[in-house]
A and B are shown apart, each in its own frame.
Chain A
Amino acid sequence: MNEPPRFSETARILAIELAVYAALVLLYLAVALRALRPWLLEAADRHHVTYAALCLMLMLGQGAVLEVLTSWLLRRFGSGRRQEEK
C-alpha cells in the first residue's frame, strides 16, 4: 500500500479541483451550453436518434476531456504525479 499523502497536500489538491470546477461551470453557462442549447432542443424534439447519439458523444467527450484536464492539473501541482508514480 502506498504511503498516504499529507493532509495539507490533499487540501491543496481539493482547492485546485474546486477552482477548476468553478471555472468549468462558468464556462459552460457563458459559452458552451448557450451555444449548444438551440441545437440540442431541436434534436430532442424532432430527431430522437440524433439526440441519443449526441447525448452519448457529449458525455463521452466531456468525460475524456475533463479526465485529461484534471489529471494534468493534478500532475502540474505535484501530488497526482507522486501517487501515479507509486
Chain B
Amino acid sequence: MVTVETLEQLLDELKSMKLTVPEVIRQRVRINMNQQQPLIHRQHRRFPRWLSSGVAVIPAVAVACGAVAYGARASVGRPNHPTAVNDQASVESYDYQKQLGFQPVLPTQAPLPLTQTMASKDLNTSGGDYRIFLANYGSGTDQYLTVMEGRSGHVEDRHIVRVDWRKRLIGDIHLEELVLPNGECQIVFTQRGLEYHLTAFKKSGISVTQLEQLCQRFSQPVTQPPDVTHVGTFGVQQAEKLLSFPVLPPKYIPQGFGQSEVRADVVIRGSYKWESFMYQLFGDKQALITVQELRTEGKEPNAPGAHNLSTAAVGQPRKLNIAGYSVSVLRHDAQYTSLSWVMQNGVHMSAEGGVDLATMTKVVDSMYRK
C-alpha cells in the first residue's frame, strides 16, 4: 500500500532528475537564435528559416558578429580575393532558368501587395544543390503571406518543421494544408513539377479557404528580377570561391574538438551586399566554437528589432593583441569566450565558444598562421 511518506520520498527522488543543457546544445541554440535560423548543422533542413522572413533580419546576424556593437566599422576595402561571379548573380539582371533551373510563377491576383521577392541557392549541401524562389506579401517590412517555390523537396523538409497536414483536392490541385493553433495557415501543393509552400500569418486575416483559392491562381510567370538574391554553400573550398574575402579557418584545434562545419552565404539586395563565412568546431560533447567572418557593402536595409543573445557585453571591452589585431574581449570565463575584431580589409571577425580565453586566443592566432 502506498503511503504518504512513500510518495514524498518519490517526490524527493524526482528532484534529482534535473538536467542541464549540454554545452554544445546551449551554444548552438544561442547562435541559431542570433541568426533566427534553424540548426544549420542539420542539413536535412532544406532552407534557412531566417531567409524566408526576408533580408531585413540580416543585420541581426551582423550584430551577432559582435564587432558592430562597438561601432568598429573600418572602411570597406576592395575585394582582394577573386569572386565567383557566376554564383553571385546580381539583382539587376536575373535569368531564373539559368540561376534557379525553373521559372517561378506567382498568383495572378493576390489578396495583398507583393513586397519582396528573393531567389536563393544552397549549393554543395549534403543533399545536393537547393534552389528556391520566395515572395512576401504584406505591408512595408511586415509579411503577412509568403510563397516559397522550387523543385520537389528543395523548399523545406516538412517532416522536421510541421507534419500535421491534411490532404485536400481543390479543383484539380492536390494539396496538403495545416492550420496551427496560432492561426497560421500553410498549404503545400505541386504544379508542373514545382512545389509551392504558402504561409498566411494570422495578422493577414487570410483563411485557409482563401489560401486554397489562391492556389488555383498560380499562373503568372515572374518576369522582374528578384529584390534579393542569396547563395549559400558548404566547405572551405566552396566558401573561398563564393566570397570576396579570404577565409581563415583555424588551424589550431583545441583538445576535445574535432568535427567541423563550414558555411558561407552571400546576400545581395540592390546595392547592399552581405557576405558571411562561418566555421564551427564541435567538441566531444560539451562545447562548440564558432568563428565568423562578415563583410557588408552598401547601404543596409532597415532592420527592425535586431536582437542578439550572445554579444551583449556592457561597457568598454578589454582589448587583446592577437596576431597583430586589436581584439575585443566581449565575454570570457572558464567555460566561454567571445572575441571580435576587424581586419584591415573591413571584414568583421568573431570567435566565440565553449573554451577559456587562452584557448580561444590560440584558435584566433592560428587563423593567421601560414
Do A and B originate from a single complex? Answer: no
Residues of B within 8 A of A (CB): none
Residues of A within 8 A of B (CB): none
